Each structure stands twice: as C-alpha cells, then as structure tokens.
Structure 1
Amino acid sequence: MAPEPQNRVTVLEQCQVSPRPPPSAGKPRSLPLTFYDLAFWEVPHVQRLFFYDNADLLGGSEFLLRELPLFEKSMAVALHHFYPLAGKLPCRMPTDAAPEIVFSDGDSVRLTVAVGNDDFDYLASDHARDTARLRPLLPPLLRNGGSQDVFAIQLTVFPLAGICIGTTLHHAVCDGSSYVHFMKTWAAIHRCGYSGGESMVVEALPLFDRSFVRDNDGLREVFLSDHRAYAAAEGEKGIHECHCHLAGGTTELATFRFTDRLLRWLGRQVESETSARRCSPYALACGAMWAGIVRARGRSASFGFVTGCKPRASPPVPANYFGNCLGLCRVEEETEAKQGWLDAVTASAAAIWRAIEGLAEEGRVFRDARGWVRLVREYASARAVTVAGSPKLGVYAATDLGAPWGRPRKVEIVSVERTGALALSESGRDGDGGIEVGLALPRVEMEAFRAFYGDLLVAAE
C-alpha cells in the first residue's frame, strides 16, 4: 500500500465558469422537478472521478498556464447547452410550492483547481483503497442562504502522472444518461475545439421540455407529500443521516472485473442450475456481487436496481431529454448467507434476471411507483444492495478528451461509499470487454468479499 500523505491536495485556484454564450432569451429559466426527479430528491450527491494519464505534465503552474484556459473555455461552451447545471435548487423541500431548478443570468459552475500530493497510480488502481484518500479529489456543492449549487467540478493535477476530474452532482437534477450526455459534449468540444464549430461535434442537444413527462397517476403530488411528511418528522436530521451507513471506521473502494470469459462461465452455471434459459451480463455481474456482499456480511440483504423509463413511458420520452427518467425496481427474493457460494451466485443472478424480464410487461415498472420515495428510504436504512451507473452509458468512450489526455484510465463513482450501491460501467481496458464494478465496504467486509471473488476466479479457470 502506498504511504498516506499528510496533505492530500493543495488548492491553486477557484473560479466560476458561466455558460458562454449565455442561453438565449427563449430558453426556460426554471425547470420544475418531475416525479422522476423527486424520487431522487434526498439521495446523496453523485460523485465521480475520472483519472487521465499524462506523464509529460510538469506541475500545477504549467497546467494553470497552458491547460486550464482550454478546460475553462470548453466547459463554458458545453454549459451553454446544459445551462441548468449552473442553476440552483432550494436546500430544503418547500412547504408551499414544488422545487425547481432555477437559472439566473450570471449563474455559474464552481471549478476548483488543485495539485495532488498523493500517489496517482495508487488512487487510479483496482485494488482496495481507503476512501479517505479519494474524497479530497471531489468538490462540494456550496449553499448560499436557502439555495444550493447543483453541480461542481474539480481538476486535480498530479505532476508527471496525470489529472483527475472530480464532479459532484445533485441527483434530483438528472440521471446518469443526462450526466454522461453533458460529459460527452464537454469532452467532444474540448477534443475538437470550441471556436464556434461546436455544433459539428455535439451529436444531440439536450431537451428540457417537461411536457414530455406524463404524470397521469399524480405521482408528483404523492412524492411531494411523502417528502414533506418525512421532513416534518425528521427535522434537521434528514435522509442523508440514514444513507451514510458506511460511516465509521475505514471504508475501502475496490474494482472487480467481469470479463467476457468470466461472464460466459457464470452464464453456463446459471443455465445449468436454474430454469433460466439465458441471463444478461448485467444480471450475472450483479448477482455475483450481491451474493459476495451477503457472504461478506454474514446475513441476507435485499437487492434493488433502476431501469431506464424513456422507452417504457407512454408515449416514450425522447432519448436526449435532460433530467431523471428512471424507475425503481426491487427483486422480491433475497440471497441467503447460508447458501453455498456458487448456489448463491446462480440464485441471485437468476432472481435479478427474472425481475428484468418482468419489466417487459407493459406498465410493470410503474406498478409500485407510488412507493418509490419510501423504497429509497427503506433500502438505505436496511443496507440493501443497489446499483449506480450502467455499462450502457459507455462512460469511458464518452469522456475522451483528445490529446494529450485521451480516454480516462479509470472512472470511479466514489459516492457509493455513502449509498452502498454497486458502481457499474463498461470495462475501460482496451479489448477486455465485460463489465467493471466498483464496491465500497468496511475493511473487514472488503477482505471477506475479495476472498469470495478470488474463489470465483479460481472456479472459472
């Protein structure tokens, strides 16, 4: 393990980046939160890290002089298209109105530039790392009076190693699809230049029109009522206290890779041991992780995941819609700690796959939607296993910054430390294929999980 530095980062500069040019007068300045957004109102902020190799980078002064102006300009142009990210949300659920994202002329995204004093290779690796070493790379969302920022970025320079881009996003603003849409746009503008020709590299502009989200069952009012009732009962405590179930002691974050070969082997096990005729790579990877977590904890745990609702809504929501558009799904079965490890893996994967197959029924994802706010809280307090991210987002390919950075070496969703979720993405290694999964656990549980994963790899040989 790399030695721990005393001062992990040194802040060089903090600036505010506004959309450039500002959004036109015809663009909406306020976006009401839909019921999809409200389902994630009190979920902890989503925090990601993108590590980019660059051994030629000399240090902070060089970065400030040569690279920072380029990042600021491309970011400002990208924010022109995604200006709600520079807006504000109320800090608390209003008692007499529905919350809105409000953008005012002059609003901006806070950009922090720092120099990292830690070991870049250690931080950007797969092995278990103390999350306390990663947190300094993440920017906070600042509050001012009764409003708060919804998005912030930090660029941390590691001399002769590379940079880390850290982002913090309020989940009520948008889901992973819209977030990656912004990051892909920013990366494309940065990669190809921003001298007025960005329309050539922006594949599809974001759509902010809330009329595309139909709410025939009045879910928005149900969710507003639920949030207000919880706020009245909890006072200052709030759900964030419930979500920090990994707080206390040392928490470690590690990445576990499911190559195409390993997934094929798991698929054969599931098919031979259960009635499942086939099983998706997503269900196989999640099932194995779920079984391993149960084994590491020594007790059963519930499992939940989200599914994209843009094609499931009636009528369908356009793919470039900006906001949240996810449905919450629970797996009815639980994985038992007493099962043999291979039996647990196959049973877990099959249970997830049955739940996914059930979503093919029209309207199935919305059948229990009135309970989504309650489900988020129940799963948080019970340390249920949930999922963040998706291999379908293609986050590695989307965030190619071009020379001298290229694609990120590693992408992490560090906020799983607070939520306990599995962080899924496509494998970032060229030619590897498969899925990579980030997992945060207390150190003792992480050791047990790593032993489980090692047994899985040996059995698949």
Structure 2
Amino acid sequence: MIVINWLIYLKKKKDNLSLFQSLSPFIDFMASTDMDKIHEVTKVFPPSLSATEISLPLTMYDTLWFKFHPVERLFFYQITDLAHHFFYSEIIPKLKQSLSLTLSHYLPLAGHLIWPQDAPKPFIYYSSNDGVSVTVAESTADFTRLSGNGIRDAVELRPLTPELLTSDDKAAVISIQITLFPNQGFCIGLSSHHAVLDGKSATMFIKSWSYLCKQSDKDANLLLELIPSFDRTVIKDPTGIDMAYINNWFSFTKSDPKKRSLKVLQTIGGNPNRVRATFQLSRDDIKKLRNKVLSMVEQNTGKQSKQLHLSTFVLTCAYVFVCLVKAKGGEDNRGTMLGFAADYRSRLEPPVPANYVGNCVMSHAMVATKGDYTKEDGVAFVAEKLSDMIRGIERGELEGTKETLENYIEMMKSVPGGIMLGLAGSIQFDVYGSDFGWGRPKKVEIVSIDRGGAIGLAKSRDESGGVEVGLVLEKQEMEAFASLFVDGLKN
C-alpha cells in the first residue's frame, strides 16, 4: 500500500482519542458477530533440529515500512458438508504439521522484531523458543456471503483476521488464524509485519506452506522457486538511508528517539460505516480500455502506441482510479494523489534474487486535481501518467534516498483535504494458486485495505487474464462507484 495514503489517514485521527474510544465500534460489532468460539490459541514451532538462533538486520526497504500497519489476508476454501470431525482430525493436524515444516525454511518468520538499547535500529531475532501464533476458531456466519463479491459491511471480515501482537519491546512477524464454517468450508487468515515482509514475500510463504501441506509428506522438499533467500547483503545502502527512515518515523510521530517502541501505528480496522465489495475486469474489458485509451491519446497528443506502457496493471488502475475520484465527488480543483509500490528485485544493480524474502519495494506517486480525472479523457490522462512513471522505473529512475519518506509527507501536505489513493496486492502474485490439498481458494481478500482505504488488486481466480479489484468505501461512495464502474464498461 502506498505510504502517503496511510499517513494522511493517520493525520485525520484525533491525537487525544483514547484506545477505548477507537476500539468501541469494533467491540460493539464483535459482541454481535457470528463468531461462536475460539477453540485454541497455540504456537507452532519449527522442527527441533532447526537452528537455535538467527538475527537479521532491517534494510532501507524495511525501515521505510517500519511503523506501517500489518498486511492482512484471508484465504477462503469451500468444502461442501465439511464436518467438525474431518476439520479437527484431518485439516488442522495437516495444516499445523506442514506449517512447522515450512517454518524450518522460513525461520526468521517464527521470530520477532526486537530493538535492544545498544542497537541503532530494530532487527529480526529468532531463538529456539520462538514459534508462530495460531488461532483455531469456529463461525456460524454465512460463508458464501463473506467469500463473495457483493457489498457487505467491512467489519464482517475482522473476526476472521488474526491479531499481530506488537509492544514496545517486541513485535511478532506473522500470526495465523484458521476458522471453520461447519458444512461450508474454512478460512486461513495471515497477518504479517510490513517491516519484515512485502506482498511478494508473504505470498511466497503461503505458497510454500500450501505446497508442503498438499504433499502430505514430512520429508517433502520445497520447489526450487519457493526456497527463500534471507541474504540481506544483496541490498546496498552505503549512505545510511535505513537510519534516515527510522528518524523520519520519529519525527512524524513526534516521539522521543530515546523512547523506542515497536508498536505499529495501526488504525483500528472495521469502521462500521464502511462497506466492502469486489469488482472484476475481464480480459475483454482490458482490451476495450486499451483501444479506447490509445485512440484518445493519439487524438490528443499524437503519441503512438509504442510510446505507451499500457499493461493490464496500468489500464486497471487508470479506470478504477477515475471511477473512485468521481464517486468521492468534490470540486474540480480538489487535490488527488495516487500511488503504487514497484518491485525492485529485478531492477536493482546487481539484481536481487526473485526468492528474496523481505521488503524490496518502493512507492511512486503522482499529484493531480479531480478535474483531471473527471474530464472526458480522464482514463487516458491517468493511463498516460502511469505509463510515464513505469517507463521511468524501467529506465532506472528508482526511488530510495534519504529524503524519500520526508518527501512523501510533503507531497501529502500539498493536497490538504484531497483524495488519497493507494494500492495493495498485485496481479503478479497469483494468490489463487495456494492449494493446501482441498482445492484452490474460492476467494482471497486483503482485509487491511479497511485500515487505510487502499485498493486491493489480484489476478482473477479463473486465470482468464482478468483482474479482481477490492474496495472499502462509505456506503454512498460504494454505490456511486458501482454504478460508474458498470456503466463505464458498457459505454
């Protein structure tokens, strides 16, 4: 998710709002939820033969996200007539056994972030006593409704989402919740610390876990492309950009550098006034958008198609962003900021391995006005701007300086009261490829978009070349967006 989008969301929160006041809407919802019970909260440990101690430093790409809220995903698996006995005697033991085996390859994920007084910045530490928190729960909620695309209250997914524990002294790297829906299916929830894992890393972990679970063999080995690399020496930072970002966070939060805290500045998810929905763009929709944008750009500027980077990503973002800005309304001079995170693994020199586990992404953003989006060629305008940004990245115009995070905050200030749009997820991750042995997910949701208002992206489940777009908006905005989205494709 784009850094700026989340920072402006935090600034809108009242500084003196008590924790109870922040949590009260969420607590009220939990009191009336269909979550019947939590059966157990336990830890799953790597095999006893694993290394006894590991420590890993945070790189500059990690410290950029140091205080960012956890990334939360849900994977829904539909099994008709799923009985309690089968779930507790077959599914849960296999998931736990394969998770333990997976952690033997991903040991740092079983550890914590810590920050000793003699250390200049936090680091990841694993010892033989560490493991991953796993909650097993049961719900009588409507599985079909929660795993569908239709409009429903955003808070409905919160009870399925595991809490990632953070404190002043220690922060978990990941946490997991497995929820049974009797006679309907089950759901796996993963919360991950953004200072340790980016989206590609978290997806690689889930794919590794699902692969080993499906093998049903405690001696099974990971596929070569799933074997993780935690080598931090591949990230070069000779000028100390990592510490600049740490100091930027202290400045932004107005906190004393001597009073170190590993608590993330997460907003309380589950605003009861917001709703969630998923929209789809087919391959044919993308093709029509491409033709329309090319026609408009060539007509307005004379640019030829070979000069534009009109990928599925660019066209999806351009169309969705325009529909969103129109749905949010306001005057034409209302400021807007949109951004996305680019994967730098293949773009650094020398390149970082594709199986690198950690953050290797950087945010890129553009500022415009609402009027730029709402004019007749608004989609072409945004597509052209995004195309230019991506072309720049391909030419090696990469972000990542001591001023980067500070510049984001300044950009945020340049559009007071404006519309902040960011992205979470990617159409490159293939999240629907995570089959634990009981079929592919029926639905994958990025729950954490309800914390900062980002747009969730995923490659369509049917592998047709389409895109899924997840949104959390005020109900009136969602209804307006849905109308614009559907009508725009018809026209």
What TM-score, normalized by structure 1, do the two folds share?
0.89
Pairing partner for 1:406 from 409, 420, 439: 439
Write the distance in 2 (CA, Å) between the matches of 1:377 and 1:117.
47
Q: Give % identity.
A: 32
The answer to whether the aligner puts 1:360 opposite 2:394 as a matched pair is: yes
Write the distance in 1 (CA, Å) between the matches of 2:478 and 2:213.
38
Residue 442 of structure 1 corresponds to: 474
Q: Which moved more, 1:190-199 or 1:133-142?
A: 190-199
Kindly report which structure 2 residues correspond to 1:420-439, keeping only aligned pairs within 5 A, or say none. Answer: 420-429=453-462, 431-439=463-471
Write the distance in 2 (CA, Å) between the matches of 1:94 and 1:270.
55
One-letter identity of the residue aligned with 1:78 = T
Residue 15 of structure 1 corresponds to: 42
Question: CA 1:304/1:334 → structure 2, altered by over 3 Å: closer, same or farther?
Answer: farther
Kindly report which structure 2 residues correspond to 1:103-122, keeping only aligned pairs within 5 A, or say none. Answer: 103-122=126-145
Residue 322 of structure 2 corresponds to: 291
Q: Deviations over 1:88-118 (max 9, x none)?
A: 114x897962100111112011111111111
Question: CA 1:440/1:165 → structure 2, altered by over 3 Å: closer, same or farther?
Answer: same
Question: CA 1:276/1:255 → structure 2, altered by over 3 Å: closer, same or farther?
Answer: farther
Question: CA 1:145/1:285 → structure 2, altered by over 3 Å: closer, same or farther?
Answer: closer
Write the distance in 2 (CA, Å) between the matches of 1:190 and 1:160.
22
What secondary structure is seen at the aligned counterpart in 1 of 2:178?
strand
Kindly report which structure 2 residues correspond to 1:55-454, keeping only aligned pairs within 5 A, or say none. Answer: 55-59=80-84, 61-90=85-114, 97-143=120-166, 146-199=169-222, 201=223, 203-233=225-255, 240=265, 248-274=271-297, 275=303, 277=305, 278=308, 279-299=310-330, 300-336=335-371, 339-340=374-375, 342-362=376-396, 364-366=397-399, 370-372=403-405, 375=408, 379=412, 383-397=419-433, 399-402=434-437, 405-429=438-462, 431-454=463-486
One-letter identity of the residue aligned with 1:19 = P
Q: Which moved more, 1:167-176 or 1:432-441?
A: 432-441
The answer to whether the aligner puts 1:46 opposite 2:71 as a matched pair is: yes
Q: Deviations over 1:252-273 (max 9, x none)?
A: 1111111100000000111011
Q: Deviations over 1:365-404 (max 9, x none)?
A: 126663235526965986511111111111112x1122xx
Write the distance in 1 (CA, Å) between the matches of 2:56 and 2:409.
23
Q: Unaligned 5+ residue runs, structure 2?
A: 1-29, 298-302
Q: Deviations over 1:56-94 (max 9, x none)?
A: 3113x441222211110001000111111111114x897
Q: Which moved more, 1:384-393 or 1:366-375?
A: 366-375
What secondary structure is seen at the aligned counterpart in 2 of 1:313?
coil
Q: Is the 8 A contact 2:373 2:381 kept in 1?
A: no
Question: CA 1:239/1:385 → structure 2, altered by over 3 Å: closer, same or farther?
Answer: farther
1:338 Cα shift? 7.2
- The alignment's C-alpha RMSD in Å is 2.7
Write the distance in 1 (CA, Å) between the matches of 2:410 and 2:472.
19
What secondary structure is seen at the aligned counterpart in 2 of 1:164?
strand
Write the distance in 2 (CA, Å) between the matches of 1:310 and 1:23.
28
Question: CA 1:72/1:249 → structure 2, altered by over 3 Å: closer, same or farther?
Answer: closer
Q: Which moved more, 1:381-390 or 1:304-313?
A: 381-390
Q: Is the 8 A contact 1:56 1:160 kept in 2?
A: yes
1:280 Cα shift? 0.9
Q: Unaligned 5+ residue runs, structure 1?
A: none
Q: Is the 8 A contact 1:5 1:118 kept in 2?
A: no
Count how many residue pairs are aligned between Structure 1 and Structure 2: 443
1:226 Cα shift? 1.2
Write the distance in 1 (CA, Å) between the matches of 2:461 and 2:95.
23
Write the distance in 2 (CA, Å) between the matches of 1:150 and 1:165.
17
One-letter identity of the residue aligned with 2:72 = Q
Question: CA 1:202/1:120 → structure 2, altered by over 3 Å: closer, same or farther?
Answer: farther
Residue 62 of structure 2 corresponds to: 37
Q: Which moved more, 1:201-210 or 1:147-156?
A: 201-210
Question: CA 1:373/1:99 → structure 2, altered by over 3 Å: closer, same or farther?
Answer: farther
Write the distance in 2 (CA, Å) between the matches of 1:94 and 1:438.
41
One-letter identity of the residue aligned with 2:381 = A
Q: Is the 8 A contact 1:19 1:83 kept in 2?
A: yes
1:333 Cα shift? 3.9
Residue 458 of structure 1 corresponds to: 490
Write the distance in 1 (CA, Å) between the matches of 2:38 and 2:216.
27
Write the distance in 2 (CA, Å) between the matches of 1:435 and 1:377.
33
